[in-house]
Structures are given as structure tokens and as C-alpha cells.
Structure 1
């Protein structure tokens, strides 16, 4: 049986794959996540996903490795994970009452090839009061998530509408990922 490895320490990505009853390992990679600010959001997420997958594949070259990365893009900037409460507040304030885009990139590396792709999902937030934002930040949920919110948790109460792949917003577009794994030769 060929090994499947998730190159991520994200509990959300792990949970998504667990829900499919797949057997896989987790091997987190400690790669540099800085990027050229001139890259498009889709280029950023595919580059970072590829870096993560390649770092793990270098130690497990007989396996199928999945790397993934997610960013949130508002009207003016690419939003990663907030560094502190002030940055989380500013991110959430910028998303309040507006549509933003979530880009998730995936890299699947097998012994034969690498396949990279991205999925874009548009998310509309309710108009949020400063009090609502502070209350949400106080939960601690925003700090390890791109754009300072988690759609699968308490952050779901901030979301008015979603257009696209819900699982991509969580951190791994499951349906596309499974199909690409099968095309690459992985047997479920």
C-alpha cells in the first residue's frame, strides 16, 4: 500500500482527511512562508503548498504528499495569520460587510510528478460591530487562521454567504484533492 502524507500540522486539514476515512500520516514541514509580494494570490498559495510538500517528499520519496496553503484577500491586501489582537481586529474590520476571496493552493507530489492547483471561494461577512469583533478575538480562534477567522468554528457566525467550495475555506478542497490524487495514481 502506498503511503499518503499530509504535509501540514493544521488540525482542520487533518480532520477533513479523517472524515474521508483515509489512512495517512502527518509530517509537518518547517518551511519559510515568506513570498514575493508581486505574486498573485493563486501563485502565492500554490508556491507555499509546493514548498511544504517538497520538504516532506524529500524524506518520503515513495509516498504521495499533500501540501496546502490558504490566504484571504480583501479589497487591498493578502491576509495571512494575524500576529496579535490588533492585527486580527484590523483584518476582521476590513472584512466586515464585504465580500472577500479565500484562495487555497494544493500541491500533490508523487514518485512520478507534482500537480499544483488552487481553489478560489468568495465569502461575504455580515456587517460587524467593534464589540462583535472584540468578542470573537477574545475566543482565541482567529490567531492561527488566515484572515483571522475560522468558518468551521465560531467564525461561522460572521459569514453571511459563501460562493464556492466550503472545504477550501476550511483549508483543503477535498473533492478536487481526492480527484487529483486518483489521477496521480493513488488508490483509495
Structure 2
């Protein structure tokens, strides 16, 4: 959508940071995971014999998304039962359901001693749940398996969208990447007008 033709390179970073270390700032968990993923790929590129194969105009992008409610991090549910419990909590909670992304942009920079510049930011979008959605609907949704594919167990661009009244913040953040902010940060890093 931004006009880039990316090459996707999966990271081997173990996404297993201790959540207890981030109780004071849950959003930092997503950011540190994103940094871990991008640095894993950067280090792999640099371990290849001929570093001249890394293009001078290299831009790398990594993100990690979590869902938070009542101070608890919800990643991809491991079962339909876990998914159902999360959906019940989200619907009944008096606190917002927050989708938090940690975004990391790495730009190759031979003038820097590390060989790159790192730009990081966090984006939060509040999901407004439909308080009228029934237990039966939540059970059937959880059993469908759709929610097992995404952080928080709710795929808003699928049937999960039927449980949501609206959003406060960037909708694209909820589906995986804060679109406008990412574009602006890339433009700023490259010193070009958006």
C-alpha cells in the first residue's frame, strides 16, 4: 500500500521475552520483541561472507503486535477455550482493549559505527467492543479457529469485526502495522517529504 516491494525475511528471534519484566510498560514488550526480530535478520545478513551484497539503500522493517487488557498481554491463543475466555474478558471489561505495536525501522548507514540507524516507535489503538455480543456468538467465533491466527484472538478484518463497535486510533495498527506513522517515520529517516 505504501509503494514498496518488500522482500520478506523471517526472523529466528525467539519471541519469548519475560512478560513480567515489562509490567511497568507493557508496550515496551512489543517494541523489544520487534527490535529483537530486526536485529536477528540484520546480524544474519552481516554474517554472510560478502557484506557488499547488502544494498546501500537497505531499509528493514519489523513489528510486533500484542493485545492488552487489564494489564494482561494477550498473544495468539493456543486453543479455542483460551480464545473464548479472552473474548469474554474483552467484552465484559470496564477497561479498554488496546492493540499495541512496537515498530522498528533499520536503515543501512555506513557513516554510523554500527553500520545502521535504528528508528523505533510504539502505537496503541483502542478497540471498542460491542457489549451486546452474546456468549453463544463468542463461543462459536472461538470454535471457528479464526482467532487462533492473531494476537488477542480477534481478527477484525474477518468475522471478529462483528464483535467491535469501533476504534480509537489507527485501524491499520489493529490489522498489523500502523500505516501512516510508519510511512512518515520512513520518510523522516530518509529526509524526504511524505
CA distance in structure 1 between the partners assigned to 2:8 and 2:16 by the alignment = 22
Is residue 118 from structure 1 mapped to residue 160 from structure 2 by the alignment? Answer: no
Q: CA RMSD in A?
A: 1.8
CA distance in structure 2 between the partners assigned to 1:186 and 1:137 by the alignment = 45
Q: Any idea what SS the aligned residue of 1:28 has?
A: coil
Residue aligning to 2:14: 32
CA distance in structure 2 between the partners assigned to 1:152 and 1:53 by the alignment = 26
Check conservation: 1:97, 1:124, Cα contact below 8 A.
no
Deviation (angstroms), 1:171? 1.1
Check conservation: 2:59, 2:105, Cα contact below 8 A.
yes
Deviation (angstroms), 1:38? 2.6
- Unaligned stretches of 5+ in structure 2? 46-53, 110-116
CA distance in structure 2 between the partners assigned to 1:152 and 1:166 by the alignment = 10
CA distance in structure 1 between the partners assigned to 2:43 and 2:78 by the alignment = 30
CA distance in structure 2 between the partners assigned to 1:111 and 1:20 by the alignment = 20
Deviation (angstroms), 1:91? 0.8
Residue aligning to 1:148: 153
Q: Match for 2:42 among 12, 34, 57?
A: 57
With normalisation by structure 2, the TM-score equals 0.81
- Unaligned stretches of 5+ in structure 1? 1-18
With normalisation by structure 1, the TM-score equals 0.83
After TM superposition, the structure 1 stretch with the greater mean CA deviation from structure 2, 104-113 or 132-141, is 132-141
Check conservation: 1:64, 1:186, Cα contact below 8 A.
no
CA distance in structure 1 between the partners assigned to 2:77 and 2:184 by the alignment = 32
Instruction: Show the 5 A alignment for 1:9-28.
Output: 19-28=1-10
Greater CA radius of gyration, 1 or 2?
A: 2
CA distance in structure 2 between the partners assigned to 1:30 and 1:138 by the alignment = 30
Count of aligned pairs between the two proteins: 170
